[in-house]
Amino acid sequence: MKFLKKLKRVTVLFAQHVTRVVKVIWSFLATQEKADDRKFLWNENRLTDGDILPKAKLFSQIPGPLPLPFFGSQWLYSWIGPYFLDKLHLANEDKYFKYGPIVKEHYLWNFPIVHLYDKNDIETVLKYSSKYPIRPGLEAQIFYRNSRPDRYKSVGLVNVQGLEWHHLRSKLTTQLASTALGDHTVKQLSVISEELIGKIREERDAYNLIEGFEKYVYSCGLEVIFAILLGRRLGALNKSSIPPIAERLMFATENLFEVSHETMYGLPWWKYFPTKSYKKLAECEDIIYDVFSDLVKEALISDEATETQSPVLNQILTAEGVDTRDKIVSLIDLVAAGIETTGNATLFLLHNIVNNPEVKMRVYEELDRVLPTPENTITPQLLLELKYLRACVAESLRMTPVAPNVARILEKPFTFQGYHVPAGTLVVCETWVASLQEENYRNAKSFIPERWLDSDKTNRHPFLAVPFGVGRRMCPGKRIAENEMLIITAKLLRAFDISFHKPLEQVYKFLISPKGPIKVILRERC
Give the residue numbers of the binding site: 475
Give the residue numbers of the binding site for heme: 475
User: Edge-to-edge strands of the sheet including 111-116?
Assistant: 102-107, 111-116, 426-429, 406-409
383/148 Cα distance (integer angstroms): 44
The answer to whether the Cα torsion of 64, 66, 70, 73 is positive or negative is: negative
User: Alpha helix (H) ranges present in 371-449?
Assistant: 380-385, 387-399, 431-435
Does residue 341 surpass a pLDDT of 50?
yes
418/427 Cα distance (integer angstroms): 15
Give how far Cα 413 sits from Cα of 56, 133, 168, 358, 434, Å: 11, 15, 28, 48, 23
pLDDT at 455: 66
pLDDT at 512: 95
pLDDT, tens only, 393-420? 999 999 999 999 999 999 999 999 999 9
Amino acid in position 210: I
The answer to whether the Cα torsion of 185, 256, 95, 2 is positive or negative is: positive
Residues 6+ apart with CB under 8 A from 56: 415, 418, 419, 420
Residue 274 Rama label (left phi>0; alpha psi -120 to 50; beta) = beta
Does residue 525 surpass a pLDDT of 70?
yes
Compute the average pLDDT of residues 271-295: 93
Q: What are phi and psi of 334, to 5 degrees?
A: -65, -40
Cis before 517? omega within 30: yes
Exposed/middle/buried for residue 415 (C-beta within 10 Å: 0-12, 13-18, 19+) = middle
Angle at 269 between CA 19 and CA 72, to 5 degrees: 25
Does residue 109 surpass a pLDDT of 90?
no
pLDDT at 38: 32
Compute the average pLDDT of residues 490-508: 97
pLDDT at 29: 33
Residues 6+ apart with CB under 8 A from 42: 106, 109, 110, 111, 112
Q: Flag the least confident range among 104-118, 226-240, 340-354, 484-498.
A: 226-240
3-state helix, strand, coil in the chain (%, to 5): 55, 10, 35
Q: Flag the least confident range among 32-46, 169-183, 209-223, 471-485.
A: 32-46
339/383 Cα distance (integer angstroms): 22
Residue of 389, 392, 399 lying closest to 367 (CA atoms)? 389
The answer to whether the Cα torsion of 233, 238, 242, 248 is positive or negative is: positive
pLDDT at 53: 60
pLDDT at 1: 55
Give how far Cα 150 sits from Cα of 144, 168, 238, 279, 459, Å: 12, 19, 35, 18, 52
pLDDT at 332: 86
DSSP H or E stretch at residue 421: strand 419-421
Three-state DSSP class for 344? helix
Q: Flag the least confident range among 43-47, 152-156, 435-439.
A: 43-47
Q: What are phi and psi of 489, to 5 degrees?
A: -65, -45
Residues 6+ apart with CB under 8 A from 225: 334, 335, 338, 339
Three-state DSSP class for 502? coil
DSSP H or E stretch at residue 104: strand 102-107
523/497 Cα distance (integer angstroms): 5
Residues 6+ apart with CB under 8 A from 196: 216, 217, 219, 220, 237, 488, 491, 492
pLDDT at 52: 59
Compute the average pLDDT of residues 58-87: 93
Q: β-strand 426-429 against 111-116: which pairing, if any?
A: parallel
Could you tell me the domains of the chain?
162-403+467-524 (1.10.630.10)
pLDDT at 334: 86
387/455 Cα distance (integer angstroms): 12
